[in-house]
Amino acid sequence: MSNRIKLIIQASWVGIAGNTLLAFVKMYVGFTAHSQSVIGDGIDTFSDILTYVIILFTARISQKPPSVKYPYGYLRAETIASKFLSFFIFFAGAQLLYANLSTLISGKERALPEALALYVTAVSIVGKFLLAYWQFYIGKKTNSRMLIANAKNMRADVVLSISVLIGTAATLYFQMPLIDTLLAIVVSLWILRIGFKVFMESNTELMDGVDDTSAYERVFEAADAVKGAYNPHRARIRKMSNLYLIDLDIEVDGQMSVSDSHKIGVAVEQEIKDRLDNVYDIMIHIEPKGNYEVDEKFGLSRDQL
């Protein structure tokens, strides 16, 4: 098992343990202190436990070796998991929005919560913040989209808990449950925005694109640095989890032997690896110098950047 996968699994177990503790505490206090907002916060925390279970399952799938059906391996399972996580985030926001709009429209007043709800919410904010920070740290370190996506979900939970704290405090101070309802509606819209953003971010990889288009410049610079390699063109760069898959056409002297042409191709590959981190695979297509093919309809040339 790679060190990257070990870190992702470790971060997932930390998330499961932390969220399980927070969820049970918030649910218990929510019922005993008669706070609907704290109960809702606890339910949202329970949904986080499920997302971590998905991450654990996906991490184990992604380390499987390539197969006949999936010759590139299973690393894209992380991107698919990020897509599922975006649905969970969006669902949580939609559920919160619906519940509070229903309360607002019906005119039904919520019972005033007890002060105990304030204390457990404050503890929840600290716990959620630490978990979110840990997830972002490991997500950035391992370049894991699904961990970063879940960290954004955790960050939304922090804002949710802050709104619960403010709403509960304002409700107790002003004796107005309406404040809690209005704040919850605002937070639910913010959570919906995060869910949509995570959904859109995973689209780039699923569409065989890259967010950092400067990678193309480095590929062309690498080809230019190799003597005997001409006209790098039809470059295609994809990402699979945290790794790059690169295809590139280059031209060489048409009178050169296959062996010498191969050496130039290998040199270009090495130059690319020296300039670009996390390269999974490089495919170099060699053509005779001056070759032109009318039906080349995909890939990028330097003048298209």
Confidence at residue 36, expressed as pLDDT on a 0 to 100 scale:
66
Place 59 in a pLDDT band, splitting at 50, 70 and 90. confident
Percent of the chain with pLDDT over 70: 96
Place 158 in a pLDDT band, splitting at 50, 70 and 90. confident
In this prediction, residues 47-52 reach a mean pLDDT of: 75
More confident residue, 45 or 21: 21
Confidence at residue 110, expressed as pLDDT on a 0 to 100 scale:
65
Residues 103 and 227 in one domain: no
Confidence at residue 60, expressed as pLDDT on a 0 to 100 scale:
79
Place 112 in a pLDDT band, splitting at 50, 70 and 90. low
Worst-scoring range by mean pLDDT, 21-30, 86-95, 260-269, 285-294? 86-95
Confidence at residue 91, expressed as pLDDT on a 0 to 100 scale:
84
Residues 200 and 229 in one domain: no
Task: Kindly list the distances between the CA atom of residue 163 and the CA atoms of 41, 179, 181, in Å, as whole numbers in the listed order.
Answer: 10, 10, 10
Instruction: Print the domain residue range for 244.
Output: 214-304
Confidence at residue 236, expressed as pLDDT on a 0 to 100 scale:
94
Residues 290 and 162 in one domain: no
Q: How many whole angstroms separate alpha carbon 299 and alpha carbon 188?
A: 41
Confidence at residue 172, expressed as pLDDT on a 0 to 100 scale:
80
CATH number at residue 243: 3.30.70.1350
Give the pLDDT confidence of 163-174 residue by residue, as tens digits.
Answer: 778 877 887 888
CATH number at residue 156: 1.20.1510.10
Residues 196 and 270 in one domain: no
In this prediction, residues 82-98 reach a mean pLDDT of: 81
pTM: 0.68
Confidence at residue 109, expressed as pLDDT on a 0 to 100 scale:
67
Residues 182 and 274 in one domain: no
Residues 237 and 173 in one domain: no
CA trace torsion 225, 227, 231, 233 (10° rounding):
-60
8 Å CB contact between 75 and 240: yes
CA angle 43, 114, 186 (to 5 degrees): 50
Among 182, 206, 230, residue at a domain's last position: 206
Q: What is the DSSP letter of 94?
A: H
Summary count for the chain: helices (H), strands (E):
8, 3
More confident residue, 164 or 275: 275
Percent of the chain with pLDDT over 90: 23
In this prediction, residues 260-280 reach a mean pLDDT of: 93
Residues 24 and 47 in one domain: yes
Residues 187 and 262 in one domain: no
In this prediction, residues 136-153 reach a mean pLDDT of: 82
